Amino acid sequence: MRKTIAFVLVLLFVLALPTALVTHNVSRVVFDTALVKSVFIKQIVQSDLISVTLEWFSYRRAEERVRTGEAQTGIREPDVVKALQFLDRDEWRKIKAEVLPNEILIGWLSAIADGVYAWIDTNDPVPNIALELKPWKDYTKSMHGVNAIQILYDALPPCSPEEIGDFVSRQKSAPSGTTVLYNLGTPCAFPLPWRTGQVADYRHNMDVIIDSNPDRFDLTQALAQIAEQQAIRIESIKQQLRTIRTLVVLSPLFLLALVGSMLILVVRSVSDLGRWVGLQLVVGGLVCLTPPLAYQGIITILFTASPMGGAPQQVQQEFVRVISILAAEIFQPMYVQALVIIVVGAALTILGIVVKQKSPAVPQANPREKIPN
């Protein structure tokens, strides 16, 4: 009976050991605000994440303005959606450098991180975060915005003589004071003397889009709307983080209780220690290698199932890459930790075998032999 109970304790220990190790490493990284901010800010600033996200967001915003009737595409402003298709990734990087400097981006990222960590210990359903957009709007409406428009303009194909002739014809026949668009179809770059006016049209259109944004963006409200639309309980994430913090404290105590119970039930010698404790450390250490081997695939699956799963493939890949770098801070040390556990377990197991082999056999008394007086 004692050995049956001990065997159950061994199974519990093998399952609890990797769980305890994962929660310890998650807590070590996730609750280190400075580390998380440092990793995320460095990767987001240095990677293409903002460039691909800016590209995706620009398309969505331009399409949304057309769909809702906010834009007057083909009436009083150029078709931005069609113009954006001529930009490649390198040009989006240049636009990002012009319209979203690192100083503003880092301020936003810090505000988001601080808001999330403060939210963990509150009863608020979503993090309380507001992003100041006024400095960004002022920055973008300066010469940096002009430079961004120039990058877009330079990406357009040159206009054909037919396209130039169509514009000149429409301009001559239009009543005085009427706005005449340079392109009614696919945008193209007009030569001088029309270039200045065409660039001014795109600049004006960009200013209208910028001015349509508030001076202060309430991210809290946006998160609440996303949670409602996607039927996601953001608060459950907070509860999971709190649970991890609790497990970090309780899991070592649970492991010690399991080992202590086995010592009391079945360990009577060094040989027993090697068999009941050493072997389970070896097996548990091997199981601990599973999370660091599997976390990349799990992150991809979870991200695909999240609200961002509808984003373009390039955006998803950049988000997964940045998250994976932070996850590496959690899971990569587990290789060394698991190896240490395996080595300790193997040492105890070998020690038990050696001691057992060296132990002298206890002679069995022959019941028929008479014991001399």
* DSSP structure class, residue 97: H
What pLDDT, in 10s, does the model give residues 80-95? 667 777 778 888 888 8
What's CA 81's distance to the chain center, in Å? 28
What pLDDT, in 10s, does the model give residues 52-81? 777 776 666 666 655 665 554 444 445 566
CA distance 144 to 139: 7
Of residues 51 and 350, more confidence is placed in 350
Of residues 183 and 96, more confidence is placed in 96
pLDDT over threshold 60, residue 172? yes
Nearest-Å Rg of the Cα atoms of the chain is 33
CA atoms within 13 A on the CB side of 52: 17
CA distance 336 to 88: 43
> What are the residue boundaries of the structural domains of the chain, listed by start?
2-29+233-357, 50-229
**Mean pLDDT, the chain, as a whole number?**
81
Percent of the chain's residues with pLDDT above 70:
82
> How confident is the model at residue 59, as a pLDDT?
64
**Residue at 309: amino acid letter:** G
CA distance 197 to 167: 13
What pLDDT, in 10s, does the model give residues 325-370? 888 988 999 999 999 999 999 999 999 888 877 766 555 555 555 4
Q: How far is CA 87 from CA 51, 95, 258, 315, in A?
A: 11, 10, 61, 16
